[in-house]
Structure 1
Amino acid sequence: MTDKPRVGVAIPKMTFARVDGSSRAIGSPTERWTMLFVYRGKHCPRCKRYLNKLDAALADWTAKMDVIVVSADTLEKAQADLAEFGWSFDLCYGLTEDQMRSLGLYVSDPLSEAETTDRFAEPGTFAIQPDGTLMLVDISNGPASRPDLEELLDGMIFNIDNNRPVRGTA
């Protein structure tokens, strides 16, 4: 793993391919806040439960910010998940190992080919301010630890509405 991401500074510029053929970018100024969720991939049932909860509350999230979800999966795996679950968020694929490391994510090797065949990122959540700077980071080294979506949304709404400063910079 590389160094942890620094809040209060610009997140590295990256572009992610979406399953619909378009792309989403981070690291440059935008009109809105962006919440980036990195998930392990198609092989992870815990990710599916988490993303289903995110999708169920997506209207509440997108009322305040853009939502991007990405994994290292191939287009075919991401399309299969989208077909199975019908998610409405911007589903992206093809996260590279260099991008994983730039985000400070833990990177895992598959335990077997039954799990998956390539390295993948462990979960991460990043709140990005409209100026492209990182405001909040939550990184896990395994699938069992992720931020509570209801609490995270409530906290992000509070931060956005009250123009709260970046914390944890010391």
Structure 2
Amino acid sequence: MASSKPNVDTQIPLLTFPKVGGGTVQVGAPSDRWTMLFVYRGKHCPRCKKFLNKLEAMLADWTAVMDLVVVSADTEEKALADQAEFGWTFELCYGLAEDQMRALGLYVSDPLSEAETTGRFAEPGAFGIRPDGALMLVDISNGPAARPDLDELLDGMKFNIANNRPTRGTA
């Protein structure tokens, strides 16, 4: 089953993810703040670690502007191991299901071997979500090498929020 392009300027499906340390996080429900959802490939991906370590270094700048949620298809054990190894303090979730990947329009990959990982996983994605749950910005990739520049993305999101910019790409 192929993923389809997500519909911007519409409500995203309500997604619930289990959170490392307990509890759950919901994305797509009305909120007081904007949310940036980052999907990463999982523990097996060194490029993800580099990206998420940079996010951690910028965390105060990001959370001053919006809520952050980071999720992968990993198990809780794998996510917890990464959190412990890298000291990530952002909202880290796990267990992204294939139907959730497809609902977000993400590319889905099979592992190349069991040494990589043992199940299907999502390729990277970033989703800017308005407080009403509408999808404003989408950045998806079909592989680990293409990612948004976190400085540029944050700067753009600050501008979009401050100026109540309309969603682009709706034509």
- Matching of residue 155 in structure 1 with residue 156 in structure 2: yes
TM-score, normalization: structure 1?
0.99
The one-letter amino acid of 1:84's match is E
- Matching of residue 79 in structure 1 with residue 80 in structure 2: yes
Distance 1:144 1:3 in 2: 21
Q: Pairwise CA RMSD of aligned residues?
A: 0.5
Distance 1:42 1:84 in 2: 11
**Cα-to-partner distance string for 1:108-155 (whole Å, 9 max, x where unaligned):** 000001100100000000000000000000000000000000000000
Which residue pairs with 1:103 in the alignment? 104
The one-letter amino acid of 1:31's match is D
Partner SS for 1:10: coil
The one-letter amino acid of 1:10's match is Q
Distance 1:133 1:146 in 2: 22
Distance 2:3 2:142 in 1: 13
Summarize the alignment of residues 1-170 of structure 1 with structure 2, pairs less than 5 Å apart.
1-170=2-171
The one-letter amino acid of 1:142's match is G
CA offset at residue 69 of structure 1? 0.2
Distance 1:164 1:124 in 2: 21
**Cα-to-partner distance string for 1:28-61 (whole Å, 9 max, x where unaligned):** 1100000000000000000000000001001000
Distance 1:78 1:38 in 2: 13
Aligned length: 170
TM-score, normalization: structure 2?
0.98
Stretches of 4+ aligned residues off by more than 2 angstroms? none
Percentage identity across paired residues of the two chains: 74
Give 5+ residue unaligned stretches, structure 1: none
